[in-house]
Structure formats: structure tokens, C-alpha cells
Amino acid sequence: MMDLTKTAPRSVKETMLGVVQLARTTDKAKAVAAGQVGEYHYDCPMDQALFDFLAMDPKEFLDAVKAAKDDSEIEAYAKPFVAKKDRQSLEAFNKSWLSTVPTGESLMHFNELRAKIAPSRTDVTSWPDLLDLDEGRTVPHRETVHA
């Protein structure tokens, strides 16, 4: 059981079956199944990008999580979707996912959240880093690049 009213989901950076975001999405699905998702949102744009990449249906994944007795059953459900991807596309997805800078409306929300939780951390430019900061994880300082 996952209670996201008391704890945060796993980091975007934590992998499940070698894929970033999947562990976090799984935690949110577990919390939805338990009725304890709190301020988090299952099937948010970040989850949707993962589902699109893996060609996985979010409702079917949630149903699988609800029916699973433990994490190994959830992994067994997800494994065939991950297995359809070759190593290079998985690596490219992971690298891109961890480093892509938000744009458009996403950038507006990103900047608002960063200004609220860590206004001095202009070196933080990706959602995974900002979510880690927001949830109390350590994010190393990086050199800021000035254009």
C-alpha cells in the first residue's frame, strides 16, 4: 500500500525495469488504488509521456496495479512493454527524460514551483531535479550556463 498523503513517491530518476519514471508512476498508481494519492496526480503529463513511450494504457496499468499482490506482479505486467524497446531507445528515453528543459506552459509551472521552493537554485532546470528538491531529496549544484 502506498500513502502519498504521508510520503513522496520514488524519484523520477529511480528506475524500474531499467526505465526512469516507471517507479514513480507505479507509486502514484498504488496510491490511487489505496485512495491515498494526496496532492499527486496519476496519469499526469509526465506519466502520459511514459505510457506513450511504452505503448501502455494508463487505465489498464492502474487495473494491473490494483490487482497485483506485490511489486513483482506489477513488474511482470510492465515487462513485456519494456521488452519491446531496444537498449538504445531505452537509454535515449532515460537520458532525454532526465535532462530535457521544460518549455511553454510547463516552463511557466516549473518556474513558479522553483520560485516557491528554491528560488536560488537557478541551476535546477529539469523536472526530475525540481521534483527531487520539492520532495526533500538532495540535488547537487551544477554550473549555471549563461547565454
- 45-74 per-position pLDDT tens digit: 999 999 999 999 999 999 999 999 999 999
Q: Which amino acid is at 86?
A: D
In the predicted structure, residue 147 carries a pLDDT above the cut 80: no
User: What letter represents residue 117's amino acid?
Assistant: I
Do 109 and 41 form a contact (C-beta atoms < 8 A)? no
Segments in 8-141 forming alpha helices (H) = 22-34, 45-54, 58-67, 71-83, 87-99, 104-117, 127-134
- 55 closest CA partner among 28, 23, 89: 89
Can you give the pLDDT at residue 143? 78
Place of cell 499527486: 40
Whole-model pTM over 0.75: yes
- Determine the pLDDT at residue 142: 84
For the beta carbon of residue 119, count every other beta carbon within 10 angstroms: 9
How do residues 88-143 score in pLDDT, each as one tens digit?
999 999 999 999 899 999 999 999 999 999 999 999 999 999 999 999 999 999 87
Burial class of 105 by CB neighbour count within 10 A (0 to 12, 13 to 18, 19+)? exposed
Residue 113's Cβ-count burial label (10 Å; 0-12, 13-18, 19+) is middle
How does residue 144 score in pLDDT terms, banded at 50, 70 and 90?
low
